[in-house]
């Protein structure tokens, strides 16, 4: 069974299927990549919790940066947020994001805790 939460015509914020939770891309508020990454990861935490998972159960993360020059700054926040021993498979690249003010977008897939 596929379960979709917070669904509209375009997308669902959460999709659950066969013990896996898929989150839509999350962005955050803030004036710089540090603030936006912290806010974004807070949103990821809330959605994972709602879906019955947590950051300790992440399987994969895809991170898009508006500018790869922000890589180290974003990683400082990311590294502090990921639980030790629970780093997911991860990719990070540069992309033009949906809004010119956005610096980072993160997409997470995680196992559901049963």
CB 74 within 8 A of CB 28: no
Buried b (16+ CB within 10 A) or exposed e, 1-24: eeeeeeeeeeebbbbbeeebbbbe
What's the pTM?
0.95
Residue 114's pLDDT band (cuts 50, 70, 90): confident
In the structure encoding, which two tokens stand for residue 88, read together? 């997911």
Domain count for the chain, please give it: 1
Structural domain including 85 reads: 2-111
How far, in Å, CA of 30 to CA of 44, rounded?
16
Residue 22's pLDDT band (cuts 50, 70, 90): very high
How far, in Å, CA of 8 to CA of 11, rounded?
6
Sheet holding 89-94, edge to edge: 2-7, 12-17, 20-23, 104-111, 58-65, 89-94
Rounded to 5 degrees, what are φ and ψ at 88? -80, 170
Radius of gyration of the chain measured on its C-alpha atoms: 14
Mean pLDDT value across residues 78-105: 97
For position 106, which CATH number holds?
A: 3.30.1330.40
pLDDT at 46: 98
């Amino acid at each position: 069974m596929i379960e979709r939460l917070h669904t509209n015509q375009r997308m669902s914020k959460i999709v659950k299927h066969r013990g896996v939770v898929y989150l839509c891309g999350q962005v955050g508020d803030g004036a710089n990549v540090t603030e936006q990454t912290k806010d974004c990861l807070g949103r990821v935490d809330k959605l994972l919790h709602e879906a019955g998972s947590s950051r300790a159960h992440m399987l994969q993360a895809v991170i898009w940066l508006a500018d790869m020059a922000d890589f180290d700054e974003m990683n400082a926040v990311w590294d502090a947020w990921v639980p030790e021993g629970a780093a997911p498979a991860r990719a990070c690249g540069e992309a033009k994001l949906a809004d010119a003010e956005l610096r980072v977008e993160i997409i997470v897939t995680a196992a559901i805790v049963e």
